[in-house]
Amino acid sequence: MEADPKNGKLNVAIYNEETNKYDVGGFRDLMVDKNCGGAKSRIEAPELTTPHSVSMVDFDGDCLSDLFMTVQEQDNPSKKYYEIYLRREQLQDPESLDKPRTNGLNSFCLVQFDDISNIQNN
């Protein structure tokens, strides 16, 4: 995962075996299942905070790597949040198998977030 320096959007690169190239797209567009029953982020245009924290940890004990990251709104970098995504193993919609990655198999579900803007280092 990376933050695109041109627009600050969080992107992922997924290898496409048919083209032997990496398809690059938005993290939330390609990897987050919006119908998983999880939380809705308060941030419309997230980018990684500077400095930032990104960790893969098994939060729910299912032996799949979940995701913790700190993000900020692109237009208001003073508003910072942490977000926790749980990885889900769900069957993928057969009609979407030709896409590089869609909601479903190995997708993430946003389950928790909180504003950390007012946390200060002592």
pLDDT along the chain (122 residues), means of 10: 55 84 85 83 83 89 90 88 85 51 64 87 52
Task: Give the per-residue pLDDT at 103.
Answer: 41
Question: Residue 121: inside a domain, yes or no?
Answer: no
In degrees and rounded to multiples of 5, residue 30 shows phi and psi of -100, -25
What pLDDT does residue 113 have?
93
**Distance from the Cα of residue 64 to its chain's centroid:** 15
Does 122 reside within a domain?
Answer: no
Q: State both tokens at 114.
A: 């909180």
Query: Is there a contact between 48 and 69 (Cβ–Cβ < 8 Å)?
Result: yes
Residue 13 included in any domain:
yes
Q: Give how many domains the chain has, as a whole number.
A: 1
> Structural domain of residue 53, as residue ranges?
2-115
| Residue 3 near residue 9, CB atoms below 8 Å | yes
Q: Where are the beta strands (DSSP E) in 27-117?
A: 46-48, 54-57, 66-73, 76-88, 107-115
Give residues with Cβ within 8 angstroms of 30, minimum separation 6.
12, 14, 100, 101, 102
Of 96, 82, 115, 75, nearest in space to 33 by CA? 96
Domain-located, residue 31: yes
pTM of the model: 0.74
Query: Is residue 120 one of the residues assigned to a domain?
Result: no
pLDDT digit string (tens) for 80-97? 999 999 988 755 455 554
Residue 6 domain-assigned?
yes
CA 98-38-55 angle, 5° bins: 80
CA dihedral sign of residues 13, 15, 19, 21: positive
